[in-house]
């Protein structure tokens, strides 16, 4: 096996970090329409990076909102084809004042690169490109055929990717899908993720009087939309954290004893975790461990609640509206649309008097689990082990990559989640960063993966035909 | 009795409305520090208006924040002295997009002048000045001695006025205090207000992790400050609107049968009121009528609740904090500081697990009631009747003028609340306005009041000595 890539990566590290810095400067926030131009510019920049490596057939597939970058290199005749998925869009950056350095001015300190998207997911997308570059520069070709699918709507629930995939099934056809948008267990504790939670999002808007009213003149005689909102939202959980929406847990798959035991071995120290997060204690659904709550139990979280006066001092007002944003994390076999409807029904059934309730159903993503003994998953474990010098664990993850389930549905190929993030890297929060040790080792793990894929798939087929 | 003032007011109406427009242009928002300069400029402008009318000894009494305007005219030897209180500061103007015309660009349409402060309270302060001007111009003097006390901190709870009053007891000494910062019952339904609710304000801040966290990775395993907030705030009321804070109602004075009967005669049609406000129905503490809920029952209102993402779309975040602003309206004999402490205790006692609770005690104002058979109150009823051509009712009011109680405490003089607003005039809300019919009739009612005051006080003393 050719390992010249190692020296190549070593010799070009400074140059690669400069290029990563350039990529992280694009404020490609997909949810905010004022950044639509930045999102496109970021896609165009990635396309140019792919072209210089040797990718061909480069296309920005247009959607109703942000484009999908497609590119391929298909000269490994008779070898497997790998499809690489990632996303170049990022989350909003508020509250801005909490960033130690500006979110779109990447800064390296203490072996970490700080910027929005550093870890989720531009840094990891960039590693894929550079792993291919390293093999191409050192061997003149790639050991497998490669297709890239890098989208710009992952942080808003990938609304258009399913139709892009459906419209271009042949273009995206491949033997395996590899995604790097997840975390490993900890520094030098690599892990292969074989399951993700799904997503169901809703917005709740309560409306009272035609306009804001004086709380002295009207206070006590009309329903305050904020009172109605806290009463309504409080009804969604009991005090021990159990979700009270009728039927919410109906389709939840029970956890096997085998999984429970495996999780117990990986279990974090709750007190240490709480301390590292700055919390007095952890809290969650009664009867489950922290890892179970994060990986295999569904959630209903308020992501935003707002209404009325938020300025300095006091304002004696009864606001005429109140708003809340909700997302659920779902587990097999919950159906996101079914869950949205059950929550909508709960909100209507529990609506307080004297206000009007509006519920808007938003993003959805199905949960996904893949067998951990699949050869593409086992190869990932070996690739990590070579690069990190330590065995990789098999984990599940609390987050959602809705598109994983969409890919699995449309393309019917195994999905390998080979992430390099750490859960301390502040994804979606101020001071997001990416650890350069994982950047370095991850680049090598990816190279080992591409180099081993043909053999792994052959042995998998051999095992099947035995 | 000299009634030339009527012709004078008639002939100078256009000029007076122009001057009012100028006064309303000052964005004198007392709670926002970026408007501190505008607040001072507004005070200086009012001082100049007073000077041109003939007021003397004009002073801007400095405080820790916004100045108090003092001015007097003391040449009615042997006659009573009236102290006029008002405020030139205004509430914030958000949400700005709901204003049909900008809040600080006064616009007259349909017999109303639209601007922040038009009714609460610059318009009514301006009427006092113009009533004195009318008498001065038509008779060469005033029928009573007059002192003005116009402050700039009413909308933030008048934190500095009590110490200003205490420091200048002699300067402010008077026989009666007249305030126009309340409403009448409706168009051409004048009323004298003899009671106000008090105020107690608090801010609640909940803090979770050190920073915002990803709702996928951590969702379900830590307390979400927004969940804790809605649970905590929902515990403040039961579903029928009764406040659940221990001891909250302990000191509430029972309503007399006489008052209940009087209120019943004034009772609004609940369905019509709901409809006029754009509400499906009214809502309030079980067992009380709408007027009782507004005038003689205490309240606990959320004026603002906020935390997490408020932008377009979704953000899968667990915010690290959540915030709420609370104000209570209090009735005799509740003590604002006692109520603040009881709420603080409730919030501590009911704090959910896994977060830190901070409670900040803010503004307070004691409730105030004055006997409605006092001669200064009865005179107000007669002055309204003359100007409006219809008898005035005696009412109480749901709002708070904390300073009323402070004045009564420091100066020990009767307080007359002679307002000219309408409760449909959007105080504290977008599209605040003042009805010009009440501007015109109110100016005359004030003139009648000043002209009748000496006789009323003499008859009151006669009655006392009988």
Mind listing the pLDDT tens digit for each residue in A341-363? 999 999 999 999 999 999 999 98
Give tens-digit pLDDT for B240-261.
999 999 999 999 988 888 778 8
pLDDT band at B465 (very low <50, low <70, confident <90, very high): low
Give tens-digit pLDDT for A183-239.
998 999 999 888 889 999 999 999 999 999 999 889 999 999 999 999 999 999 999
CB–CB contact A303 B318 (8 Å): yes
Taking residues A22-45, report their average pLDDT: 97
Q: A428 contacts in B (CB within 8 Å)? A: 212-215, 315-317
Give tens-digit pLDDT for A418-438.
999 998 999 999 999 999 999
Give tens-digit pLDDT for B273-290.
999 999 999 999 999 999
Q: Helix, strand, coil shares of chain B as percentages rounded to 5?
A: 40, 25, 40
- Whether B296 has a pLDDT exceeding 70, the answer reads yes
Closest CA to A440 of A1, A2, A20: A20
- Whether A466 has a pLDDT exceeding 70, the answer reads no
Which pLDDT does position A103 carry in this prediction?
98
Length of chain B: 466
Give tens-digit pLDDT for B173-205.
999 999 999 899 899 999 988 888 999 999 999
Contact assessment for residue B398 and residue B289, using Cβ atoms and an 8 Å cutoff:
no
Which pLDDT does position A304 carry in this prediction?
98
- Backbone φ and ψ for A85, nearest 5 degrees, come out as -110, 145
For chain A, percent of residues with pLDDT exceeding 90: 81
User: What token pair was written down for B51?
Assistant: 């000077």
Q: Cα–Cα distance between B334 and B332 in angstroms, integer?
A: 5
Taking residues A244-259, report their average pLDDT: 91
Contact assessment for residue B193 and residue B417, using Cβ atoms and an 8 Å cutoff:
yes
- Whether B2 has a pLDDT exceeding 60, the answer reads no
Q: Does B216 touch chain A (CB under 8 A)?
A: yes
What CATH superfamily classification does A4-196+367-465 receive? Zn peptidases (3.40.630.10)
Q: Cα–Cα distance between B195 and B192 in angstroms, integer?
A: 9
Q: A307 contacts in B (CB within 8 Å)? A: 304-306
**Contacts of range A340-349, beta carbons closer than 8 Å, 24 or more positions apart:** A340/A200, A340/A201, A340/A202, A340/A364, A342/A245, A342/A246, A342/A247, A342/A248, A343/A200, A343/A202, A343/A236, A343/A245, A343/A248, A343/A300, A344/A202, A345/A246, A346/A235, A346/A236, A346/A244, A346/A245, A346/A246, A347/A204, A347/A232
- Whether B89 has a pLDDT exceeding 80, the answer reads yes
CB–CB contact B220 A277 (8 Å): no
Instruction: List every span in chain A annotated with CATH 3.30.70.360.
Output: 198-252+298-364
pLDDT band at B413 (very low <50, low <70, confident <90, very high): confident
Do you find a cis peptide bond into B307, omega within 30 degrees of 0? no
In A352-435, where does DSSP find H-type helix?
375-388, 402-411
For residue B238, what is the nearest residue in chain A, using CA coordinates? A231
Helix (H, G, I), strand (E, B) or coil at B85: strand
- Backbone φ and ψ for A347, nearest 5 degrees, come out as -65, -35
Which residues on adjacent β-strands are paired with residue B307?
A: A305
- Whether B101 has a pLDDT exceeding 70, the answer reads yes
Contact assessment for residue A193 and residue A429, using Cβ atoms and an 8 Å cutoff:
no
Tell me how many residue pairs between chain A and chain B have CB atoms under 8 A apart.
358
Contact assessment for residue A282 and residue A290, using Cβ atoms and an 8 Å cutoff:
yes
Q: A32 contacts in B (CB within 8 Å)? A: 311-313
CB–CB contact A305 B399 (8 Å): no
Strand A321-330 and strand A299-308: pairing?
Answer: antiparallel
CB–CB contact B352 A239 (8 Å): yes
Q: How much is the mean pLDDT over chain A?
A: 93
Contact assessment for residue A343 and residue A326, using Cβ atoms and an 8 Å cutoff:
yes
Closest CA to A142 of A85, A79, A84: A79
Which pLDDT does position B373 carry in this prediction?
75
CA B187 to chain CA mean position, Å: 19
Q: Is the dihedral of CA B302, B306, B311, B315 positive or negative?
A: negative
Q: Cα–Cα distance between B364 and B339 in angstroms, integer?
A: 10
For the stretch A416-429, what's the b/e string if a residue is b when 16 or more beta carbons lie within 10 angstroms of its beta carbon?
bbbbbbbbbbbbbb
CB–CB contact A230 B277 (8 Å): no
Q: Cα–Cα distance between A324 and A370 in angstroms, integer?
A: 34
Strand B145-151 and strand B68-73: pairing?
Answer: antiparallel
Instruction: List every span in chain B annotated with CATH 3.40.630.10.
Output: 4-196+367-465
- Please give the DSSP secondary-structure letter assigned to residue B24: H
pLDDT band at A2 (very low <50, low <70, confident <90, very high): low
CA distances from A354 to A212, A226, B128, B409 (A): 15, 12, 39, 39
Strand B81-87 and strand B176-179: pairing?
Answer: parallel
- Whether B59 has a pLDDT exceeding 90, the answer reads yes
Which pLDDT does position A200 carry in this prediction?
96
Contact assessment for residue B255 and residue B285, using Cβ atoms and an 8 Å cutoff:
no
Contact assessment for residue B215 and residue A299, using Cβ atoms and an 8 Å cutoff:
yes
Of B208, B294, B310, the CB nearest to A304: B310
Query: Taking the CB of residue A465, how many other CB atoms lie within 10 A of it?
Result: 6
Which pLDDT does position A380 carry in this prediction?
95
- Whether B463 has a pLDDT exceeding 70, the answer reads no
Q: Cα–Cα distance between B9 and A413 in angstroms, integer?
A: 87
pLDDT band at A171 (very low <50, low <70, confident <90, very high): very high
Closest CA to B156 of B104, B89, B95, B94: B89
- Whether A465 has a pLDDT exceeding 60, the answer reads no
Weakest mean pLDDT among A68-82, B98-112, B192-206: B192-206
Which pLDDT does position A301 carry in this prediction?
97
For residue A363, what is the nearest residue in chain B, using CA coordinates? B314
CB–CB contact A305 B230 (8 Å): yes
**How far off is chain B from A171, nearest CA to CA, in Å?**
30
Taking residues A165-180, report their average pLDDT: 95
Taking residues B314-331, report their average pLDDT: 95
Which pLDDT does position A75 carry in this prediction?
98
Give tens-digit pLDDT for A267-304.
889 999 999 999 999 999 999 999 999 999 999 999 99
Closest CA to B201 of A307, A232, A215: A215
**How far off is chain B from A243, nearest CA to CA, in Å?**
10
Q: Cα–Cα distance between B179 and B255 in angstroms, integer?
A: 25
Q: B318 contacts in A (CB within 8 Å)? A: 301, 303
**How far off is chain B from A361, nearest CA to CA, in Å?**
11
Taking residues B415-422, report their average pLDDT: 94
Q: How much is the mean pLDDT over chain B?
A: 93
- Whether B291 has a pLDDT exceeding 70, the answer reads yes
Helix (H, G, I), strand (E, B) or coil at B186: strand
CA atoms within 13 A on the CB side of A354: 25
For residue A367, what is the nearest residue in chain B, using CA coordinates? B216
For the stretch A293-328, what's the b/e string if a residue is b when 16 or more beta carbons lie within 10 angstroms of its beta carbon?
bbbbbbbbbbbbbbbbbbeebbbbbbbbbbbbbbbb
ipTM: 0.73
CA B342 to chain CA mean position, Å: 25
Q: B303 contacts in A (CB within 8 Å)? A: 215, 226, 308-309, 314-319
Contact assessment for residue A43 and residue A35, using Cβ atoms and an 8 Å cutoff:
no
Contact assessment for residue A85 and residue A179, using Cβ atoms and an 8 Å cutoff:
yes
Which pLDDT does position A401 carry in this prediction?
74
CB–CB contact A214 B430 (8 Å): no
- Backbone φ and ψ for A47, nearest 5 degrees, come out as -60, -40
Do you find a cis peptide bond into B121, omega within 30 degrees of 0? yes
For the stretch A352-372, what's the b/e string if a residue is b when 16 or more beta carbons lie within 10 angstroms of its beta carbon?
bebbebebeebbbbbbbbbeb
CA diameter of chain B: 82
Let me know if domain A198-252+298-364 sits in CATH 3.40.50.300: no
Which pLDDT does position B166 carry in this prediction?
93
CB–CB contact A220 B241 (8 Å): yes
Q: Is the dihedral of CA B86, B89, B91, B93 positive or negative?
A: positive
- Whether B466 has a pLDDT exceeding 90, the answer reads no
Q: Helix, strand, coil shares of chain A as percentages rounded to 5?
A: 40, 25, 40
CA diameter of chain A: 82
For tokens 């700005």, name the residue.
B96
For tokens 């509250």, name the residue.
A95
Q: Cα–Cα distance between A72 and A60 in angstroms, integer?
A: 12
Which pLDDT does position A130 carry in this prediction?
98
Give tens-digit pLDDT for B450-461.
999 999 999 877
CB–CB contact A308 B310 (8 Å): no
- Whether B408 has a pLDDT exceeding 80, the answer reads no
Q: Cα–Cα distance between A15 and B43 in angstroms, integer?
A: 63
**How far off is chain A from B51, nearest CA to CA, in Å?**
33
């Amino acid at each position: 096996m050719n390992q010249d890539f190692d020296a190549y990566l070593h010799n070009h590290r400074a140059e690669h970090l400069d290029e990563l810095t350039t990529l992280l400067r694009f404020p490609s926030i997909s949810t905010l329409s004022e950044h639509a131009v930045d999102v496109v510019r970021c896609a165009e920049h990635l396309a140019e990076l792919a072209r210089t490596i040797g990718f061909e057939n480069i296309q920005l597939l247009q959607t109703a909102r942000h484009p999908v970058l497609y590119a391929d290199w298909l000269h490994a005749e008779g070898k497997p084809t790998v499809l690489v998925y990632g996303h170049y869009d990022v989350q909003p950056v508020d509250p801005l004042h909490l960033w130690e350095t500006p979110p779109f001015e990447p800064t390296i300190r203490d072996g970490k690169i700080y910027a929005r998207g550093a870890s989720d997911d531009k840094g990891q997308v960039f590693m894929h490109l550079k792993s291919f570059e390293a093999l191409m520069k050192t061997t003149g070709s790639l050991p497998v055929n490669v297709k890239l699918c890098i989208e710009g709507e992952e942080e808003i629930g990938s609304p258009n990717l399913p139709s892009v995939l459906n419209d271009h099934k042949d273009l995206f056809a491949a033997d395996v899908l590899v995604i790097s948008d997840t975390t490993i267990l900890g520094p030098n504790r690599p892990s292969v993720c074989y399951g993700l939670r799904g997503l169901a999002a809703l917005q709740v808007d309560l409306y009272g009087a035609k306009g804001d009213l004086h709380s002295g003149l009207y206070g006590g005689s009309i329903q305050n939309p904020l009172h109605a909102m806290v009463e309504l939202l409080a009804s969604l959980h009991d005090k021990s954290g159990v979700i009270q929406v009728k039927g919410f847990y109906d389709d939840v798959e029970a956890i096997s004893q085998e999984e429970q035991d495996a999780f117990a071995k990986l279990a974090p120290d709750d007190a240490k975790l709480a301390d590292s997060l700055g919390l007095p204690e952890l809290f969650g659904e009664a009867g489950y461990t922290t890892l179970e709550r994060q990986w295999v139990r569904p959630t209903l979280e308020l992501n935003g609640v707002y209404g009325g006066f938020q300025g300095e001092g006091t304002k004696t007002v009864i606001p005429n509206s109140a708003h809340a944003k909700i997302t659920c994390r779902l587990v097999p076999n919950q159906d996101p649309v079914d869950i949205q409807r059950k929550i909508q029904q709960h909100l209507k059934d529990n609506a307080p008097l004297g206000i009007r309730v509006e519920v808007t159903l938003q993003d959805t993503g199905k949960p996904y689990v893949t067998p951990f003994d699949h050869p593409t998953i086992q190869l990932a474990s070996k690739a990590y082990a070579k690069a990190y010098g330590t065995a990789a664990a098999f984990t599940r993850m609390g987050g959602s990559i809705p598109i994983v389930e969409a890919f699995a549905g449309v393309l019917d190929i195994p999905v390998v989640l080979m992430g390099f993030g750490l859960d301390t890297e502040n994804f979606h929060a101020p001071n997001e960063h990416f650890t350069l040790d994982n950047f370095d080792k991850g680049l090598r793990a990816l190279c080992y993966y591409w180099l081993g894929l043909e053999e792994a798939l052959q042995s998998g087929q051999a095992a099947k035909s035995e």
